[in-house]
Structure 1
Amino acid sequence: MTTSKYAWGYAVRREWSNGSHDLFGFTSDKGEAERSLTRDQSYWRRGPVRPVAVYVVAANASAVEQHAVDGCRSASCPDSPKRGELR
């Protein structure tokens, strides 16, 4: 039996100007992750406070589930929009 902690897929990473980030929305489907990204960008576009960057990253389900809700500054979190891309 495979548990979700070994599952790889995609998540959305939101970067803030204070150097912290959020990691959320794990899915094994890249298209679904990109739709989540579009919704998140639309939400923040109109507000007075905006993230510095929002992008899709390759991520492990366990890393996303155990990620701090907000204010994370860990350098070990998934952070490359290019990592894990299939060509």
Structure 2
Amino acid sequence: MTSDEFAWGYAVRREWANGSHDLFGFTPDAGTARRRLERDHSYWRLGPVRPAAVYLVAATAADVDRHPVDGCQGSCCPNSTDRGQR
């Protein structure tokens, strides 16, 4: 593990109607995070299946690296835009 894993940044959280979510796209840069969020919105906007919500959350690189790839329903996953102590 490196200290970079514990540096705060942003990730995209995609919520699904079944209560599961995805967490991806960690970056320490707010501008890059907003572009990733917009790109995800654009991708799903016209499709037949759409997420219930897509938004940015404060997260660490470790949060995103250790997150399950598909179908996570964990309540301890990052779900707020606030940064700070856990």
Shift of 1:46: 0.8
Unmatched segments (≥5 aa) in structure 1: none
The within-5 A match list for 1:63-78 is 63-78=63-78
Look up the equivalent residue of 1:53 and give its one-letter code.
A
The Cα of 1:4 is off from its aligned counterpart by 2.4
* DSSP-derived class of the 2:80 partner: coil
Q: In the alignment, is the contact (CA less than 8 A) between 2:11 and 2:24 conserved in 1? A: yes
Query: How many angstroms apart in 1 are the aligned matches of 2:5 and 2:83?
Result: 17
What fraction of aligned residue pairs are identical, expressed as a percent? 64
Tell whether 2:18 aligns with 1:18. Answer: yes
- What does residue 28 of structure 2 align with? 28
Where 1:4 maps in the other structure, the secondary structure is: helix
Deviation at 1:61, TM superposition (A): 0.7
Consecutive aligned runs of 4 or more in structure 1 exceeding 4 Å deviation: none
TM-score using structure 1 length:
0.90
Q: RMSD value over aligned CA atoms?
A: 1.4
Aligned length in residues: 83
TM-score of the aligned structures, taking structure 2 as reference length: 0.91
* Separation in structure 2 between the aligned mates of residue 5 and residue 84 of structure 1, nearest angstrom: 15
AA of the residue aligned to 1:80: S
Structure 2 equivalent of residue 38 of structure 1: 38
Query: Which ranges of structure 2 fall in alignment gaps of 5 or more residues?
Result: none
Q: How does 1:50-61 map to 2 (within 5 A)?
A: 50-61=50-61
